[in-house]
Amino acid sequence: MSDEPTAPKLQVQIDEDISQGVYSNLVLLNHTENEFVLDFAFIQPSNGRAKVRSRVISSPRHTKRLLRALEINLRRYEERFGKIEDIEPSSPSDPTRIVS
């Protein structure tokens, strides 16, 4: 038996309405020195209006951990299901704005 302390297991609770999730095909990113703001929106192909469905505000440190987790999971996804085709930015003047 090890004398090393073990980290407590994280128990995550989620409300029923949140557990349903929302669909997003556009993410707008902004940041200040202290936080990142990710606005997840849905844009209908038939018009140019996007409605923000969810806003996530995160610290720079946590945003970097999120980026690493996404990279790891995308790599695992592509190993299992094949390469995801890269898409071009939707706006040449703003290469961070991507609509799929």
H-run or E-run covering 61: helix 60-81
The pair of three-digit structure tokens given for residue 95, joined into one six-digit string: 């290469």
Question: Per residue in 3-26, pLDDT tens?
Answer: 777 878 999 999 999 999 999 999
Tens of pLDDT along 53-97? 999 999 999 999 999 999 999 999 999 999 999 876 665 555 555
Find the helix or strand (DSSP H, E) in which 52 lies: strand 50-58
